[in-house]
Amino acid sequence: MPPKPAPAPLGLGNLRKMRVGDVAIPKVEIEAVPVSITRDELVEKFRQHGYSRLPVFKETLDTPLGLVHLKDLALEYGFGSGNGRFSLRKLIRPLLYVPPSMPIGVLLQKMQVQRTHMALVIDEYGGVDGLLTLEDLIEQVIGEIEDEHDEADDAYWREEKPGQWVVQARAPVNEFEAQIGMRLSDEEADDEIDSMGGLVFMQLGRVPARGEVVVTENGVEYEVVDADPRRIKRLRVRLPGVAPAE
């Protein structure tokens, strides 16, 4: 959904004050692939680093072409359909190019509007200086997002009653969807959102207040159990047909 006018709806001091250069991954830590890479080499690169998206460059990282998504590779060349000649160019998706001085709140809104989840930070000479993903920005709102490679300190969710759950904001959306047997995000959101808190944040374009209730088009209700002015912490999720407690 389109973001609301900025910066007031966000109400987050760090999104206004922090700059892209403050939170970007340094150039030396960026994992990227050349456009000339073979299919097997690309598969191994995804397997080795555990990312779902990688920047693509022509000769060096300072000549970027876009990004490649693991899902696109699987759909085009996996599942028994990979008999054709491999071409990475036709899988390349666009990404954003931003200066290090841009406020991260502005970049967040650009990503929402353009549905692009990765940005390269470009220095004054036109070279690549760093990288940011939508997840990096959302972490500034809801805290660190842990994925399947992270060690969880406690349970992501607990079931209060049939169809009603208390869920940590950092809980991975895909894991909770598997738990409840229901899809919560559409395909486009899958490319952008990893956590339950991020899912609610993107629905509203701002951090909701404690006690606020968000009802989505599929009938799922999200009640904000715990939040502060900067981030969502816990949610109560009610599936369609489940009545709220008295």
Confidence band of 236 (pLDDT split at 50, 70, 90): very high
> CA 171, 173, 176, 178 torsion: positive or negative?
negative
Task: Give me the CATH topology for the region 13-142.
Answer: CBS-domain (3.10.580)
β partners of residue 53 = 69
DSSP per-residue letters across 122-145: E-TTS-EEEEEEHHHHHHHHH-PP
**R_g (Cα) of the chain, nearest Å:** 19
Query: Higher model confidence: residue 89 or residue 11?
Result: 89
Whether the pLDDT of residue 111 is over 80: the answer is yes
Confidence band of 32 (pLDDT split at 50, 70, 90): very high
Average pLDDT score over the chain: 81
Please compute the mean of the pLDDT values over residues 102-127 and round it to a whole number.
Answer: 89
Whether the pLDDT of residue 41 is over 60: the answer is yes
How far apart, in Å, are the Cα atoms of 18 and each of 4, 8, 168, 182, 222? 20, 16, 25, 36, 29
Same fold, 13-142 and 157-238: no
Please compute the mean of the pLDDT values over residues 196-209 and round it to a whole number.
Answer: 82
Whether the pLDDT of residue 206 is over 60: the answer is yes
* Tokens standing for residue 13: 């001091």
| Tens of pLDDT, residues 50-65 | 788 999 999 999 999 9
Percent of the chain with pLDDT over 70: 80
Please compute the mean of the pLDDT values over residues 134-142 and round it to a whole number.
Answer: 74
Q: Which residues of 66-103 are buried (b: 16+ CB within 10 A; e: fewer)?
A: bbbbbebbeebbeeeeeeeeeebeebbbebbebeeebb
| Tens of pLDDT, residues 142-181 | 555 444 444 444 588 999 889 999 999 888 888 999 999 9
Which CATH class, in words, describes the domain spanning 157-238?
Answer: alpha beta
173-180 and 196-204 are packed helices; what angle lies between their axes, rounded to 10 degrees?
Answer: 100
Confidence band of 192 (pLDDT split at 50, 70, 90): low
Q: What per-residue confidence (pLDDT) applies to 63? A: 93
Q: What per-residue confidence (pLDDT) applies to 197? A: 87
Q: What per-residue confidence (pLDDT) applies to 157? A: 92
β partners of residue 122 = 128
Per-domain boundaries in the chain:
13-142, 157-238
pTM exceeding the 0.85 threshold for the entire prediction: no
